[in-house]
Amino acid sequence: MSARDDQTAQDYWEAHYAERERVWSGRVNAQLPGILAGVVPGTALDLGCGEGGDAVWLAENGWRVTAVDVSATAIGRAEAAAEARGVRDRVTFERHDLSDSFPDGTFDLISAQFLHSTVRLERPHILRNAANAVAPGGRLVVVDHAAPPPFSKKVPHDHPFPAPEEVLAELNLPADQWERARVEVVERDGTDPDGQPFTWRDNVMVLRRRA
* pLDDT tens profile 136-188: 999 999 999 988 776 666 665 566 789 999 999 999 999 999 999 999 999 99
> Which pLDDT value is given to residue 203?
96
Asked whether residue 53 is assigned to any structural domain, the reply reads yes
Asked whether residue 1 is assigned to any structural domain, the reply reads no
CATH number for the domain spanning 41: value is 3.40.50.150
CA 131, CA 110: separation in Å to the nearest integer? 8
- DSSP code of residue 99: T
Asked whether residue 4 is assigned to any structural domain, the reply reads no
Asked whether residue 3 is assigned to any structural domain, the reply reads no
Q: How far apart are the first and last CA of the chain?
A: 44
Distance of CA 132 to the CA centre of its chain: 17
Q: How many domains does the chain have?
A: 1
> Which pLDDT value is given to residue 87?
98
In the three-class reduction of DSSP (H, G, I as helix; E, B as strand; rest coil), residue 15 is classed as helix
For the stretch 106-137, pLDDT in tens is 999 999 999 988 788 899 999 999 999 999 99
C-beta of residue 78 within 8 angstroms of C-beta of residue 55: yes
Asked whether residue 2 is assigned to any structural domain, the reply reads no
pLDDT band at 6 (very low <50, low <70, confident <90, very high): low
Whole-number Cα distances in Å, 198 to 1, 21, 153, 191 = 23, 26, 16, 6
Q: Which structural domain range is residue 185 located in?
A: 9-209
pLDDT band at 3 (very low <50, low <70, confident <90, very high): very low
C-beta of residue 48 within 8 angstroms of C-beta of residue 39: no
Asked whether residue 199 is assigned to any structural domain, the reply reads yes
CA 133, CA 6: separation in Å to the nearest integer? 31
Alpha carbons within 13 A on the beta-carbon side of 53:
16
